Structure 1
Amino acid sequence: MKCKEEISALFDKWNQAVQSGNPDNVVAMYAFNGILLPTVSNQVRHNHAEIRDYFVHFLAKKPSGVINESNIRVYGDIAINSGVYTFTFSPDGQEPFSATARYTFVYQWFGDHWLIVEHHSSVMPEK
């Protein structure tokens, strides 16, 4: 049941939530005490309220993500997906632009569903 394909699909679900433009859809994928080390903010986010605050601003840029490289490992009730993704942003009234970043999602199994307990994303240092 807890296979790599299932973990891979969690990014697709998260990306759909991001593309919905509704920060509450994104926040629902994080554990209550989940940690977000975001791509475009220096502030570590420690809970749903802080994670929501980040995504309110992030989603205003109308992002859409695609994975360039994925490395999935499953350890019982913990799964890790790390690699590289690229976001294309299409903010209103501006030219679309892209950013490539390294990412790590750490998921925990909560009986009948996975939630993100840690998410780290950082822009690639070399361009």
Structure 2
Amino acid sequence: MRRTHYAAIAVTAAVLFTGTGATYAAGSDVRPAVTHSTLADTAQPATVTPPTPGQIAALFDSWNAALATGDPNRVADLYAPGAVLLPTVASIRTTRAGIVDYFTKFLESKPVGKIQERYINILNDTSAIDTGLYQFTLTDKDGSKSTINARYTYVYELRGGHWLIINHHSSKVPTG
């Protein structure tokens, strides 16, 4: 009986003191505490629930669809203000103008991405990570196609009711 009591206290303390940035194991009943101040800081409604892995996977599909429009601003709209983009073959971008510039050049090759392997981690009600391997098919101006295999990580955060990319890293898969 005393052991159960202490376990309940530990769980209650963990919930009260972890805050919204804490993580929890899938299937766990222990979730970060949501207080009035944390809701005001994140501007999220009180009924926020953790996303499903399928919802996070669909964010890549939306990103890939934005690539297909050929409009770098549509792609940049998926990145949060202050997001960090570490592209596959270019220097780091930390501003919207830098992200638009990168995609202006990248979209010239009409990229089409395809996930090859994926791992999704739901961190809490408002953030998740999608990481793995993807392949891009690129089309040159003469119509010839090539592929690039790359590793990726997208860190998403729910802001103002929209899932946005706050960090995107992509790097070529090393050969050999």
Note whether the superposition's TM-score is higher than 0.5. Answer: yes
Q: Which amino acid aligns with 1:56?
A: T
Give 1 or 2: higher strand fraction.
Answer: 1
**How much identity, in percent, do the aligned residues show?**
43
- For 2:63, the equivalent position in structure 1 comes to 14
> Within 5 Å, which residues of 2 pair with 1:37-56?
37-41=86-90, 43-56=91-104
Specify every segment of 5 or more residues in structure 2 that has no aligned partner in the other structure, as ranges: 1-48
Provide the aligned length of Structure 1 versus Structure 2.
Answer: 126
Paired residue type of 1:125 = P
Deviations, residues 55-101 of structure 1 (Å, cap 9, x unaligned): 00000011000000010011111100000000000122141000000
Name whichever structure is richer in helix by fraction. 2
TM-score (structure 2 length as normaliser): 0.70
State the 4+ residue runs in structure 1 displaced beyond 2 angstroms: none
- Unaligned residue ranges in structure 1 (runs of 5+): none
> How high is the TM-score relative to the length of structure 1?
0.96
1:88 alignment partner AA: T
RCO higher in structure (CA 8 A, sep ≥6): 1
CA distance in structure 2 between the aligned counterparts of 1:71 and 1:111, rounded to whole angstroms:
25
Offset of residue 7 of structure 1: 0.2
Q: State the Cα RMSD in Å.
A: 1.0
1:75-94 alignment, distance < 5 Å: 75-76=123-124, 77-94=126-143
Larger Rg: 2
